[in-house]
Amino acid sequence: MRGFTPYPLQGYWGKKFGLFVFLVFLIPYICFHISDEITLFQTLNNEQHIQLFYWVCLFGLFMMMNSKEKVEDERVKIIRAKSIHIAYMITLVPSFGIALISTVFEQDYSLLGQAAEMYITMGLIVYQLYFHYSLLRDPAWNYNDGGPLDNFRFSRKSFLPLVILSILLVLYSIFL
Amino acid sequence: MKNTLKVERAKLNISQEKLAEIVGVSRQTINSIEKRRFVPSTVIALKIASIFDCKVEEIFTLEDSD
């Protein structure tokens, strides 16, 4: 249907607003991590402050993800679809691993919350990294219909950031 | 897919940004097309051809690997 968008994106203003929110609230998030003696809201303790700024930062990333680019053309749409796919796949694996190990082997269901939190956080971060990397570098294998090995042979360097990021995510899930 | 977009652009002395504005895409998309990193859709290819007043086949040609 022409003009029909099942999930309409915000305008470009949303991306600027989201980036502003993310950067502004990242500073107190780091400060509260460093020092236990800072207080902003009297009714909240240090851990609650950290969590509050953490989720506000994620909201900023979500706003950025939910916004159009300055010029929203078909290339950007293809990259956005690929980025969401990659973010979903990369973050699903460690979350799946944590959920499986915690429920089947450890029977510690409290880790499910951490798996969900990691899924949300890493998904947003991976999306932002991959989306903007693709916009700038435009790896050729995005548009290559060959199999995984063909894509790897075609553009080895493009996989390097993704491999590094995947390793970091696995290490994060191990030391969570 | 090969293309002579850069040559055609030079003939009319149009910048990538100007061409992108006319076609309705970003400058990065025009750059990606010229560097053969992105294959445009039929609509964009037709728009580009109409700007340069020539046929799509005169600007975009298939390669053996396509």
pLDDT for the residue numbered A171: 62
Partners of residue B44 in chain A, C-beta under 8 Å: 73-74
- For A10, phi and psi rounded to 5 degrees? -75, 170
Contact at CB, B26 and A70, closer than 8 angstroms: yes
Residues A142-167, mean pLDDT to the nearest whole number: 61
Contact at CB, B25 and A71, closer than 8 angstroms: yes
pTM of structure: 0.73
pLDDT for the residue numbered A56: 93
The chain-wide mean pLDDT, for chain A, equals 77
Contact at CB, A69 and B20, closer than 8 angstroms: no
Q: Which of A89-93, A136-140, B16-20 has the lowest mean pLDDT?
A: A136-140
* Residue A157 contacts B, CB cutoff 8 Å: no
pLDDT for the residue numbered A128: 87
Partners of residue A74 in chain B, C-beta under 8 Å: 25, 29, 40-41, 44
Contact at CB, B37 and A143, closer than 8 angstroms: yes
Does the pLDDT of residue A155 top 70, yes or no? no
Q: Which residue, among B19, B32, B39, B42, would best test binding to A if mutated, counting the most A CBs under 10 Å from its CB?
A: B32
pLDDT for the residue numbered B22: 93
pLDDT tens readout for residues A39-68 = 778 888 888 888 899 899 889 989 988 888
pLDDT tens readout for residues B35-46 = 888 889 999 999
Answer whether A115's CB lies under 8 Å from A103's CB. no
Cα–Cα distances (Å) from A141 to A134, A145, B5, B64, in that order, read: 10, 8, 22, 18
Does the pLDDT of residue A143 top 60, yes or no? no
CB pairs under 8 A between A and B: 34
pLDDT for the residue numbered A175: 55
**What is the secondary structure of A87-116 as a DSSP string?**
HHHHHHHHHHHHHHIIIIII--TTHHHHHH
What is the DSSP code (8-state) at residue A81? Answer: H
pLDDT for the residue numbered A140: 46
Does the pLDDT of residue A20 top 80, yes or no? yes
Answer whether A141's CB lies under 8 Å from A109's CB. no
Partners of residue B26 in chain A, C-beta under 8 Å: 69-71, 73, 75-76
User: pLDDT band at A169, cuts 50/70/90?
Assistant: low
Greater model confidence, A160 or A131 = A131
End-to-end CA distance of chain A: 45
pLDDT for the residue numbered A39: 77
Q: Which residue, among A74, A75, A143, A155, would best test binding to B if mutated, counting the most B CBs under 10 Å from its CB?
A: A75
Which token pair is A8? 């309409």
* Residue B16 contacts A, CB cutoff 8 Å: no
Contact at CB, A73 and B24, closer than 8 angstroms: yes
Q: In whole angstroms, give the CA distance from residue A75 to residue B26.
A: 9
Partners of residue A133 in chain B, C-beta under 8 Å: none
SS (H, E, C) chain B: CEECHHHHHHHHCCCHHHHHHHHCCCHHHHHHHHCCCCCCCHHHHHHHHHHCCCCHHHHEECCCCC
> Which of A135, A140, A143 has its CB closest to that of B28?
A135
Residue of B nearest to A69 (CA): B26
Regions of chain B short of the pLDDT cut 70: 66
